[in-house]
Chains A and B, each alone.
Chain A
Amino acid sequence: MDQKGYRRGSFQSATSDEDMLEIAGASADFTVADDDPPLDREMGGFSSYNGGGMNGTSTMMDFLEEPLPGVGTYEDFNTIDWVREKSRDRDRHREITNRSKESTWALLHSVSDAFSGWLLMLLIGLLAGSLAGLIDISAHWMTDLKEGVCLAGFWFNHEHCCWKSNTTFTDRDKCPEWKSWSQLILGHGEGAFAYILNYLMYVIWALMFSLLAVLLVKGFAPYACGSGIPEIKTILSGFIIRGYLGKWTLVIKTITLVLAVSSGLSLGKEGPLVHVACCCGNILCHLFTKYRKNEAKRREVLSAAAAAGVSVAFGAPIGGVLFSLEEVSYYFPLKTLWRSFFAALVAAFTLRSINPFGNSRLVLFYVEFHMPWHLLELVPFILLGIFGGLWGAFFIRSNIAWCRRRKTTQLGKYPVLEVLVVTAITAILAFPNEYTRMSTSELISELFNDCGILDSSKLCEYVNDFNSTKGDDLPDRAAGPGVYTAMWQLALALIMKVFITIFTFGMKVPSGLFIPSMAVGAIAGRLLGVAVEQLAFYHHDWAIFSGWCSQGADCITPGLYAMVGAAACLGGVTRMTVSLVVIMFELTGGLEYIVPLMAAAMTSKWVADAIGREGIYDAHIRLNGYPFLEAKEEFSHKTRAMDVMRPRKNDPPLTVITQDTMTVEDVETIVTSTTYSGYPVVVSRASQRLVGFVLRRDLIISIENARKKQDGIVSTSVICFTDYCPPLPPSSPSVLKLRSILDLSPFTVTDETPMEIVVDIFRKLGLRQCLVTHNGKLLGIITKKDVLKHIAQMANQDPDSILFN
């Protein structure tokens, strides 16, 4: 049983030395370049000044004392202290408000401080929207680059290349300016050799793109791989991962996202767009003091940035805010709601003005039909919901198993090779089938499309009876041969996508999940929709159809089934509820389809929850062992605080510091011989009455500073944590006063407190540690990691393998 285990706030399970070293050094991503003389140990370079006292009861003396740089900041892979950050922000606000009465300049300062939040949201929206536009346009172009090139200007993709030329009705995609690779190399596009050449070029381009992507990720910003949403969830709950939202991660993620999407891999760009938007939020926070120095306020901004990210991904501002509220954020104060909505709107508006899809649409697969649906169609919709739930649960299980294998076995040692192999398999399997050859967004767009008289795709090749057509309102028709071909091709595409996505999500390139799951659902939905449509056409005299679906009426819309299927599968994987329905109905632009969408989403969530409790993001959090305290689940066991607290029965007693009897040397010994992230301060060892709590980092910085700057501080100087230090004989060295770094209001519970309440306290207040007292005397300590391990133990999971140890 490791002693050092319990109060280890840091993620590296190592000696205190390594703690101070490169991990801390690696955190200085965005230091405000303080020109203060550096500290000896490599811990500094950190941004903030403590804006005032650390606890709510700061006195004038604390303001007069200049706080040391570095005090009040956090080490990498540590949890922030929400209470402290919030009270610091309140102090700062109080100070500014008090000072604003003094002079006009101070008044202006307070007004600008109040508006800085809105200005920041505006900037985040602008930057996120522009980056999304860049990603969309580049991805669109590069996807088409695998098939050919435009002679009229290499920067045009297929659609834009043929924009100007006169295309015929039957051959709407062909135009003389766009040359496929075989046409360019061989001079003609027909024949077996041309096909093979096209195939080869497709695979080669795909491999090149993915190779470039993984090399850039590995070489410049390893944090840019994966989806990003599990890590952002953890960061928003109070964890610090330095560099995860930095500028290099932003640049590399944007660039490699385009490359990964263009290489034909079965991944989407929505999850990584959330990461990109949060990086923008983090980077822009450094322009404003209010957000740069306070980790809690910064997380509010990150919540809003995440909303902006989803908003540009789907063109759904409200859905984005709800997604941020439901999936990503941990603490979401109501003030953030309005600001997130503003950021999401600005981002959507910026994207719209860049106009990536040429028709003022924000998403490629915007749906424009408004056909009514009948109540009896709820049966197939619920079937789609069940399919979505089953697929979601299956996908989560298999993906987690594969990712665990990647973590623990030899597979993880060859990331570049893994990416290349998966890309090669995907490209080789995808090219023959036209529905997998096209990009997934285009596939979804085609599946959502309702067949009109003008559509010439294979999926719309119904047997037309032109004499009976009235305008654009087509009745249900018999399926032509094109539809049958499309059906089995789609079925093959479904099988391929179901399996290849398992191996793609989680690779070392930016990969999102939304689009592949929507594609799987859309294919399943369209298949079912066409089946129901043909059933209704051939058997319109059956009892279930005769009432509402007479011959010649347009009653079944397969596009709607595709949409409902997409929602069901997405809900099954991510377990989104409200945000999913809102995103889908913002995509369709109408409220007609809310009931089918809700029915499918609810069914899929219930079915998936019955099989496995967690969504994909929570499952990844648990796989990686992030210290994330799940806010949605109830803790229902009857344990008490004394069962969880440290030290346990056989451990040595709690390491404490006395308030005025320990010397500098004693404290340094304690600090170097243990790796706890904080120490309680008591009146004396005999009484064990609690005075406060002091953090390790603040202690080290203060002692270092005092040794260098203050006169007369030597190893035998006494450290005094109180206001009035006991008088010492005149020959003794001067006293080191460390009252300012002591937190005088640590949270305590008694040892008989039920763990339900303790877990609730940790969740609601965002505590890092909580002291346990018995009859008023300090008995032990419970940290967030202890709580997490206890929850894991109660759920019969292996607590040691889960957390960062």
Chain B
Amino acid sequence: AHRMFAPSSQNSASPVLLLVLLGCVLCPPAQASKSSEDIRCKCICPPYRNISGHIYNKNVSQKDCNCLHVVEPMPVPGNDVEAYCLLCECKYEERSTTTIKVIIIIYLSVVGALLLYMAFLVLVDPLIRKPDPYTQPLHNEEDSEDTRSLAAVPTLAGARANTMLERVEGAQQRWKRQVQEQRKTVFDRHKMLS
């Protein structure tokens, strides 16, 4: 019973982890330097008389983003420029490559970490815990009988055995039981979430 109340370092660390993650996610856009390759003015000009359609890109600022500055070399003679430019559509676009790179890398690392953790729980954990007859592998869908017997045997020896490792152990055991309970509710008994 005591393991439930052992202050869980995992629980208190994770809001901190979340805030760190939040900071990481917010930092890139905050400090994303507008490198010259990340802004552009894009002008799309349709076919006009005998001139084929063309797309013009140029790194100009927003105030210079119009047909006259961007479309070079001008394919039509001087008096037709206005008519041609009326057909062209110019848009100012900017993006932040750093943000994209950072976010994708964060995402892939989180997915990788979760996969590794899942592999660890499925493959390595049962081997480590084999000597202990009361623990069960993660994907075991046994009855509440086993959870009751598990509850009866504390995995922490006494209320004060609060070393870091044992606290983490306790928190992990608690989490595993929660997940098992949730899995039973959702996948086996279909009580929630159809």
Contacts and interface: CB of A to CB of B under 8 A. Distances in A.
B48 to A, nearest CB: 8
A432 B6 CA distance: 57
Interface string B16-59: 00100010011001000000010010001111000011110100
A126 B22 contact: yes
Contacts of A223: 182, 186, 192-193
Interface in A477-505: none
A11 B191 contact: yes
Contacts of A255: 107, 110-111, 114
Given A133-B103, A215-B118, A221-B179, A283 B110 contact: no
A804 interface: yes
Contact of B107 (A34, A160, A258, A471): A258
Interface string A231-246: 1000000000101000
Interface string A13-38: 00001100111011011110111111
A41 interface: yes
A738 interface: no
A21 B40 contact: no
A156 B100 contact: yes
A166 B55 contact: yes
Interface in B139-194: 139, 144, 147-148, 151, 159, 174-175, 177-179, 181-183, 185-187, 190-194
A40 interface: yes
A412 B144 contact: no
A272 interface: no
Contacts of B94: 355, 358-359
B106 A29 contact: no
Given A33-B11, A134-B107, A156-B100, A42 B26 contact: no
Contact of B53 (A41, A170, A506): A170
B151 A222 contact: no
Given A40-B1, A243-B178, A283-B18, A624 B193 contact: yes
Interface in B87-146: 87, 89, 91, 93-97, 99-101, 103-107, 110-111, 114-115, 118, 121-122, 138-139, 144
Instruction: Classify the interface of chain B: helix, strand, loop or mixed.
Output: helix
Contacts of B95: 160, 163, 355, 358
A137 B179 CA distance: 29
Nearest to B95: A358
Interface residues of A, number: 95
B178 to A, nearest CB: 4
Nearest to A20: B151
Contact of B96 (A153, A355, A804): A355
B2 interface: yes
Nearest to B101: A155
Nearest to B10: A247
B14 interface: yes
B25 A133 contact: yes
A355 B29 contact: yes
Interface string A596-627: 00000000000000000000000010011100
B73 interface: no
Contacts of A471: 86-87
A121 to B, nearest CB: 15
A11 B118 CA distance: 30
Contacts of B81: none
A623 B105 CA distance: 40
A278 to B, nearest CB: 15
A127 interface: yes
B8 to A, nearest CB: 6
B118 A620 contact: no
B152 to A, nearest CB: 10
B99 to A, nearest CB: 6
B1 A620 contact: no
Interface string A155-177: 11000100110111110100000
Given A220-B118, A355-B95, A225 B151 contact: no
Q: Which of B178, B185, B190 has the most CB of A within 10 A?
A: B178
B15 interface: yes
B12 interface: yes
B68 interface: no
A607 to B, nearest CB: 26
A506 to B, nearest CB: 5
Interface string A388-409: 0000000000000001101110
Contact of A164 (B29, B37, B46): B37
Contact of B1 (A38, A131, A170, A251): A38
B74 interface: no
A21 B144 contact: yes
Given A134-B106, A137-B103, A353-B29, A30 B11 contact: yes
A530 to B, nearest CB: 22
B104 A137 contact: yes
Contacts of B148: 17-18, 21-22
B4 interface: yes
A39 B115 CA distance: 37
A768 interface: no
Contacts of B100: 137, 141, 155-156, 160
Contact of A624 (B6, B26, B103, B194): B194
Given A156-B100, A472-B87, A36 B193 contact: no
A35 B194 contact: no
B14 to A, nearest CB: 5
Q: Which A-B residue pairs are the 7 nearest by beta carbons?
A: A169-B53, A33-B7, A38-B5, A155-B104, A403-B194, A222-B186, A26-B181
Interface of A: 11, 17-18, 21-23, 25-26, 28-31, 33-42, 44-45, 126-127, 130-131, 133-134, 137-138, 141, 153, 155-156, 160, 163-164, 166-170, 172, 212, 215-216, 218-223, 225-226, 231, 241, 243, 247-248, 251-252, 255, 258, 283, 286-287, 350, 353-355, 358-359, 403-404, 406-408, 412, 415, 452-454, 466, 469, 471-472, 506, 508, 620, 623-625, 804
19 contacts: A11-B191, A26-B181, A30-B11, A37-B5, A38-B5, A40-B1, A45-B4, A127-B18, A138-B104, A138-B107, A155-B104, A215-B118, A220-B118, A247-B15, A251-B110, A359-B93, A359-B94, A404-B194, A412-B190
